[in-house]
């Protein structure tokens, strides 16, 4: 699923940025048509500029900017991008644990270029292996085909990346959870 975020101007003095009014639209030539279903998809991944109430479990930075990596195995374990890239691990959190990258509004692009279109692709990580880059439906298919009846308590990457969701809710049957809670 590709989503387009853009801004346009009717004159040099009047600049309209759909980003600032939190609308997601699809750009078709010079015509813009808002897609209602896309708005809710956008709001799912639209995170604040800072990680309010979240601290990195390695360097202990609070309310950090940039990407956040949430462990899908450990309960309530988050890393900033610097600590994630350094492969931080503890006695309980191993460096090979699957991590869900959660983007802030800052990561989506803060520059306002009137001629640019920013393309964003939402990708989820499999909490049962180290593969990532899945859409919701691809993740469900992957879990069903590659992990079959594997029922381990893991965090749902879709829930982890969704504002106002139970971020640390463990799921025993992820394939069923994805089908019933995210793909309907």
Report the pLDDT value the prediction gives residue 121, as an integer from 0 to 100: 57
The Cα 16–Cα 24 span in angstroms is 13
Reply yes or no on whether the pLDDT at 159 is more than 50.
Answer: yes
The band of 67, judged by pLDDT with boundaries at 50, 70 and 90, is confident
DSSP string, 116-180: --EEEE--EE-TTSS-EEE-HHHHHHHHHHHHTT----EE-HHHHTSTTS-TT-EES-HHHHIII
DSSP string, 58-94: TT--BS-BS-EEEESSSTT-EEEHHHHHTT---SSS-
What's the average model confidence in pLDDT over 9-23?
33
The Cα 180–Cα 6 span in angstroms is 33
| Domain range annotation of the chain | 2-182
Between vectors from CA 179 to CA 175 and to CA 183, what angle results, nearest 5°? 135
> What separation in angstroms does the CA of 67 have from each of 24, 38, 154, 161, 172?
21, 22, 21, 11, 27
The band of 10, judged by pLDDT with boundaries at 50, 70 and 90, is very low
Percent of the chain having pLDDT more than 90? 39
Determine contact, residues 164/110, Cβ cutoff 8 Å.
no
Reply yes or no on whether the pLDDT at 8 is more than 50.
Answer: no
List the end-to-end C-alpha distance of the chain, in Å, as a whole number: 16
Which residue has better confidence, 54 or 2? Answer: 54
- Six-digit token pair at 160? 């982890």
The band of 5, judged by pLDDT with boundaries at 50, 70 and 90, is very low
25-53 pLDDT, tens digit each: 322 222 233 333 333 333 334 444 444 57
Read off the DSSP letter of residue 183: -
> Global pTM?
0.61
Kindly report which listed range (2-6, 107-111, 139-143, 161-165) carries the lowest average pLDDT score.
2-6
């Amino acid at each position: 699923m590709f989503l387009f975020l853009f801004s346009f101007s009717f004159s040099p003095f009047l600049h309209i940025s759909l980003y600032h009014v939190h609308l997601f639209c699809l750009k078709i030539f010079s015509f813009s048509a808002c897609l209602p279903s896309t708005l809710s998809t956008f709001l799912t991944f639209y995170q604040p500029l800072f990680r309010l109430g979240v601290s990195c479990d390695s360097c202990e930075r609070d309310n950090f900017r940039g990407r956040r990596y949430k462990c899908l195995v450990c309960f309530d374990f988050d890393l900033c991008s610097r600590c994630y890239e350094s492969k931080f691990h503890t006695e309980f959190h191993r460096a090979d644990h699957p991590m869900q990258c959660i983007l802030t509004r800052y990561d989506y692009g803060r520059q306002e270029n009137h001629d640019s279109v920013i393309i964003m692709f939402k990708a989820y990580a499999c909490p049962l292996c180290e593969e990532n880059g899945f859409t919701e439906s691809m993740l469900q298919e992957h879990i069903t085909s590659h992990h079959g009846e594997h029922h381990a308590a893991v965090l749902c990457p879709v829930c982890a990346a969704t504002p106002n969701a139970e971020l640390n809710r463990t799921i025993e049957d992820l394939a069923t959870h994805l089908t019933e809670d995210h793909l309907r």
